[in-house]
A and B are shown apart, each in its own frame.
Chain A
Amino acid sequence: MILARGLRKSFGDFEAVKGIDVDVRRGEAFGFLGPNGAGKSSTMRMVAAVSPVSGGELRILGMDPAVDGPSIRARVGVCPQEDTLDTELTVRDNLYVYGRYFGLPRKEVRSRVDELLEFVQLTEKSGSMVEDLSGGMKRRLTIARSLINRPDVLLLDEPTTGLDPQARHVVWDRLFRLKQQGVTLVLTTHYMDEAEQLCDRLVVMDKGVIVAEGSPLELIRAHSTREVAELRFGVGEHDAIAEKVSDLGDRVEVLPDRLLVYSEDGEEVIAKVHERGLQPAAVLVRRSTLEDVFLRLTGRTLVD
């Protein structure tokens, strides 16, 4: 569905995407993970055929965005990072006019609008102005809008950023149903739980390059251990204690309030910690998550 080879994007001197290879297959949910500024949105805009490619090769549905922009966009659904809803129109008119932009016949658009309002649970709001909707409703409306052309590929740029937990779960639920219906989903996110829930395959991007690729489980296996033991000691003691337990796991990470020991068996780590006479104030054993992979690969430093 999407094929990129050595894909690049630069803005003046700044290179946002520095040569990435991507293959997205039909019917899968594919994720781009990465911190802010990793190049996810730039990549998405190129795939949406609204941002000219600076270098490399890009094919969407077998077409070249430089030549067949309108034809590609006719078959792709876009849910941008910021809601670009038409604030001067009602909920229903937003969907209707947008559907008409695709050259779809009036009657067809009208029936799709009703169907989609139902799908995103906004039927009762159909006559409201966009400004009067909550953040979650706007997001759902944007998703409904991106589906009006029955796209082969749906591009979602940070679909749940800024939503409360209830609204996120509603969005996830809808996206999951789309995936079941066979729509190819491509999404960017920096929420690891989102990526784990939705993505069959994902790439982790950092500073314009792909640093890891695979299914969530494969990534955890390749870049982290099965379990993590979290140990809390008194403030200021962690650095010293880290040296005493460094041999217990594959890797030990020091945070201001706790130590993370990456290991295949967390309980065993804790038993050994006690054997050595150390008395942590609190312990927790958990499975490794994509978040561990992500932080390992992209670091804990804040990116602006």
Chain B
Amino acid sequence: MLTTSVGRAAASPVSAGEATGLLIYRNYLAYRRGWYIFVSGFLEPVFYLFSIGVGVGQLVTGFEFNGQQIPYAEFVAPGMLAASAMNGSLLDSTFNFFFKLKYNKLFDQMLATPLTTLDIARGELSWSLLRGGIYSAAFLLVMVAMGLVSSWWAVLVVPAALLIGLAFGGICMALTTFMRSWQDFEFVTLATLPMFLFSATFFPITAFPPAVRWVVECTPLYRGVVLCRELTTGALSWGSAVSVVYLVVMGLIGLAIVRRRLDALLLT
């Protein structure tokens, strides 16, 4: 569906896999000097885990989740893991993507080479979900060290986090292509902060009235949080499969939009 006009084309000297690898390598080179920026994004959810999960957890007994009674810290931790995957992919798919698109003219230079807009969209998205994946893998280690993991299913939480990165990366990159200035990014904060606070991260959604609850269940972070929690506690359900499909579809739609928008913005 993405290759209508290039159907007859001679093969590009750079394969899709190579191109993705090259974009990731370029971003790695750029971050080598700014590793502390990389670390700060990871620490935020960790601090929340200690402050709310462990601190407030001493005042809260815990919740029932999919039929199991779990301690509060164990409830909050997978939520923070999902949030760290979101944070990780968010930074590179919003501010950094905008910078590359409008200021660094990075994609203009890439398009002077055999790389295509689809290569760029795919490479940037891969980098962004990779960053989310690295954050959540590190977060999972913190959870294991703190004894907050009660099932071997938790190993799958890293691929689950990659799906969260895919979904947020895709949609945020797509929205970023419509942004006109840095001020427009307030909308991103406006959307992600409530998601971070209310997507069953700190308390179960049974606390909401049914209408609100329905809205929350449709948000991507909620799907990610629940998926991660199901995996770390081992309480899987059919809902898990729904979450997986939801996140994959959202990411792919985002990718398709990004590619079309890059065509419209750069190949004029």
Binding site for B on A (CB under 8 A): 11, 45, 48, 50-52, 63, 66-71, 73-74, 78, 80, 82, 84-89, 93, 97-98, 100-103, 145, 149
Cα A284 to Cα B59 in complex, Å, equals 95
Of the A-B pairs whose beta carbons lie under 8 Å apart in the complex, a sample of 9, sorted by A's number, is A50-B266, A50-B267, A70-B10, A74-B13, A80-B108, A84-B105, A101-B22, A101-B115, A149-B113
Count the B residues whose beta carbon is within 8 Å of the partner chain — how many?
30
Whole-angstrom distance between the Cβ of A108 and the nearest chain B Cβ: 13
Does B14 have its Cβ within 8 Å of any Cβ on chain A? yes
Cα A192 to Cα B110 in complex, Å, equals 31
Cα A45 to Cα B111 in complex, Å, equals 11
Cα A97 to Cα B116 in complex, Å, equals 16
Q: Are A85 and B114 in contact (CB under 8 A)?
A: no
Binding site for A on B (CB under 8 A): 5-6, 8-10, 12-15, 18, 22, 25-26, 29-30, 104-106, 108-116, 266-268
Q: Are B268 and A73 in contact (CB under 8 A)?
A: no
Specify which chain B residues have a CB less than 8 angstroms from the CB of A11 in the assembled complex: 268
With A84-B108, A102-B113: A71-B9 Cβ-Cβ less than 8 Å: yes
Specify which chain B residues have a CB less than 8 angstroms from the CB of A80 in the assembled complex: 108-109, 112
Q: Are A85 and B116 in contact (CB under 8 A)?
A: no
Q: Identify the closest chain B residue to A104 (Cβ).
A: B13
Q: Are A86 and B8 in contact (CB under 8 A)?
A: no
When the two chains form the complex, which single residue of B9, B13, B106 contacts A103, counting CB atoms closer than 8 Å? B13
Specify which chain A residues have a CB less than 8 angstroms from the CB of B106 in the assembled complex: 84, 86
With A50-B266, A103-B18: A70-B109 Cβ-Cβ less than 8 Å: no
Chain A interface secondary structure, helix, strand, loop or mixed? mixed
Besides A66-B5, A74-B114, 10 new A-B residue pairs in contact (Cβ under 8 A), listed by A number: A67-B6, A70-B115, A73-B112, A74-B12, A80-B108, A82-B105, A84-B106, A86-B106, A97-B22, A100-B25
Q: Identify the closest chain B residue to A90 (Cβ).
A: B29
Q: Are B104 and A88 in contact (CB under 8 A)?
A: yes
When the two chains form the complex, which single residue of A50, A67, A74, A145 contacts B111, counting CB atoms closer than 8 Å? A50
Whole-angstrom distance between the Cβ of A281 and the nearest chain B Cβ: 50
Whole-angstrom distance between the Cβ of B137 and the nearest chain A Cβ: 25
Q: Identify the closest chain B residue to A66 (Cβ).
A: B5
Q: Are A68 and B268 in contact (CB under 8 A)?
A: no
Q: Identify the closest chain A residue to B266 (Cβ).
A: A50
With A74-B13, A82-B105, A88-B30: A97-B25 Cβ-Cβ less than 8 Å: yes
